[in-house]
Chain A
């Protein structure tokens, strides 16, 4: 018990160190401008299509259990950042919006049917769709004064969305939870179909 108290004290001390962080003074910030940690934090949660796909990754990881529960959320931000880098460099990715909508459909369907493919295949599928999400974010980002804080906020928000999915997915241990997750997967797939319809409408 003593050791855990010490660990908590260290953690709280570290956390308070971060409270010392000075944020940039934001006068007349344009919408979406990359000026601070908070604007980066807000970016991934500003689009429902991104939010549902990222939560689906967490839900699927929770259904698959270890090691997928952490491999998928580790793989997604890294590959998404790679896509974001391509977007920032202006590299065009054909069918970007279709890829984002398809990610919600397929990941939602995977959760609904509780698919259990080999880990490499699951990680590959998640990574493949992460490129579309990253490229979409990257190509939308206007120039700003503090790309680093923005990037950190952006990545943290993405990771936290996976965390939300994993936390919800922990209900998988109960029978009613398994059914609820499948229903949630179906809802995500339906949302994906709506996004796909919007792309072609």
Chain B
């Protein structure tokens, strides 16, 4: 890489960081982000740890099992999420669920144990959890007000998150890097246990 190119990249990065520091108006009780339902769906996932972390955990789990499992999860999870979302939108009732803790606990434990799951089992897990989380999301949105576009944005965001994290984990070869993934799994499982305590309190 030439010195000029490196310099240009550094300047671009510095400008991007400065942009992050720009103050914006605080919006309390913001129902939408103002960019339309698709972006609402995308940002819902990015700003909801109860949905984002299970999606990341599933990506880490699939990444541990290699490219084959990851390719399946990459497609199955967003599709199941979308299907669950539509089901929840039409037949579900909006209610929180302590079962979300179960996702954290199960996926985190499997990652921490580096469980040698068969590809079909990982796929089934992705389908089940995707449908479940989608159902919870779908049951809380208005089907008469662009709910379908919201779910589409959500599923797209799930796809991107899974693609990013699996592509991060699959090439890892160094022992310590694989351990870091397992430690992340133990943290997810531990958070799930604490969440269960909060839910049952």
Overall SS of chain A's interface: helix
- Pair B189/A10 contact, Cβ less than 8 Å: no
For B, the interface residue count at a CB cutoff of 8 angstroms equals 35
Interface residues of B in 4-62 (CB under 8 A from A): 20, 26, 28, 43, 46-47, 49-50, 53
Residues from chain B with a CB closer than 8 A to the CB of A34 are: 198
- Which residues does chain A contribute within 8 Å of B164, judged by CB atoms? 10, 13-14, 17
- How many residues belonging to A are interface residues under a CB distance threshold of 8 Å? 42
Task: List chain A residues, Cβ under 8 A from B120.
Answer: none
Q: How far is the CA of A13 from the CA of B194 in the complex (A)?
A: 29
Minimal beta-carbon separation of A165 from chain B (angstroms):
14
Q: Which residues of chain B have C-beta atoms less than 8 A from A19's C-beta?
A: 20
Bound CA span A85–B200, Å: 9
| B112 adjacent to A152 (CB under 8 Å) | no
Q: Does B191 contact A (CB under 8 A)?
A: yes
Choose the segment among A45-53, A110-118, A143-151 that binds chain B (4+ C-beta atoms closer than 8 Å): A143-151
Q: Are B191 and A152 in contact (CB under 8 A)?
A: yes
Docked complex Cα distance between A138 and B47 (Å):
26
- Chain A contacts for B183, CB-based, 8 A: 70, 73-74, 159
CA distance A62 to B62 in the complex (A): 29
* Cβ contact within 8 Å between B28 and A25: yes
Partner of B112, one of A14, A78, A143: A78
Q: Is A3 an interface residue (CB 8 A)?
A: yes
Which are the 5 A-B pairs with shortest beta-carbon distances?
A88-B197, A85-B197, A147-B198, A81-B190, A151-B194
Apart from A85-B193, A155-B190, 13 more pairs, CB < 8 Å: A3-B171, A20-B47, A70-B182, A78-B109, A88-B200, A138-B194, A147-B194, A148-B49, A148-B50, A151-B190, A154-B194, A155-B191, A159-B187
Name 26 A/B residue pairs within 8 A (Cβ), A-sorted. A10-B167, A13-B164, A14-B165, A17-B46, A19-B20, A22-B47, A74-B182, A75-B186, A77-B187, A77-B190, A78-B112, A78-B190, A81-B189, A84-B193, A84-B194, A84-B197, A86-B197, A88-B197, A88-B198, A89-B200, A148-B50, A148-B191, A148-B195, A148-B198, A151-B194, A152-B49
